């Protein structure tokens, strides 16, 4: 298996393939899934065992996030809050956790960070436990701070959960 070919199949149609989209000017937060289509997930399933796909995707997410942060520093651009997020915990994703890149350039990011810290539950939820287990397996758990956001959306009549993994050195 050629590394370049595997990555090319996964990212060539993703928005972040052109890193300018992540380093562009936007006022509100942006969130980009590492893979936005289940068909690309199926390509990975042909190359990797199902239990290893989340590990692969997390490694890719950490690489892209670090690259975006380095580019921002090189261009003297401030990214107030960057994170890897997880929002899909339902059965349709199976046991695969699909990370997303979360970028919030606004100074309002500090208020979001403080709100998240203030509203953390005393014990880890099932979703938080799954995410922390993934980061532990990949050897990244000590490099990130984990925060949870949970609210009920009346429009879709369901509880929405977002787990943030924020690089520790940015806290």
Write out pLDDT tens, residues 50-66: 889 999 999 999 999 99
Q: Quick check: 107 pLDDT over 80?
A: no
pLDDT of residue 65: 92
pLDDT of residue 1: 66
For residue 160, the SS3 value is strand
pLDDT of residue 27: 60
Question: Residue 141 half-sphere exposure, CB side, CA atoms within 13 Å?
Answer: 12
Q: Are 19 and 68 in contact (CB under 8 A)?
A: yes
pLDDT of residue 129: 95
Q: How many domains does the chain have?
A: 1
Q: Which residue has the higher pLDDT, 60 or 73?
A: 60
Measured CA to CA, the distance from residue 109 to residue 26 in angstroms comes to 13
Write out pLDDT tens, residues 79-94: 778 999 999 886 555 6
Q: Quick check: 77 pLDDT over 70?
A: yes
DSSP 123: S
Question: How much of the chain exceeds pLDDT 70, in percent?
Answer: 91
Nearest one of 113, 110, 14, 109 to 64, comparing CA atoms = 14
Domain housing 47: 3-170
Q: Which residue has the higher pLDDT, 2 or 160?
A: 160
């Amino acid at each position: 298996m050629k590394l370049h070919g595997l990555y090319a199949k996964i990212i060539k149609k993703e928005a972040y393939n052109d890193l300018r989209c992540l380093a562009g000017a936007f006022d509100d937060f942006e969130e980009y899934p590492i893979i936005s289509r289940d068909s690309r997930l199926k390509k990975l399933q042909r190359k990797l065992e199902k239990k290893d796909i989340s590990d692969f995707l997390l490694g890719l997410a950490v690489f892209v996030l670090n690259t975006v942060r380095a580019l921002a520093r090189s261009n003297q651009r401030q990214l107030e809050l960057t994170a890897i997020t997880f929002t899909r915990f339902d059965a349709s994703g199976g046991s695969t956790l699909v990370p997303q890149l979360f970028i919030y350039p606004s100074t309002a990011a500090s208020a979001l960070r403080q709100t998240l810290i203030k509203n953390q539950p005393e014990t880890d939820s099932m979703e938080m436990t799954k995410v922390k287990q993934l980061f532990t397996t990949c050897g990244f758990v000590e490099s990130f701070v984990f925060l949870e956001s949970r609210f009920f959306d009346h429009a879709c009549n369901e509880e929405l959960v977002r787990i943030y993994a924020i690089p520790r050195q940015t806290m």
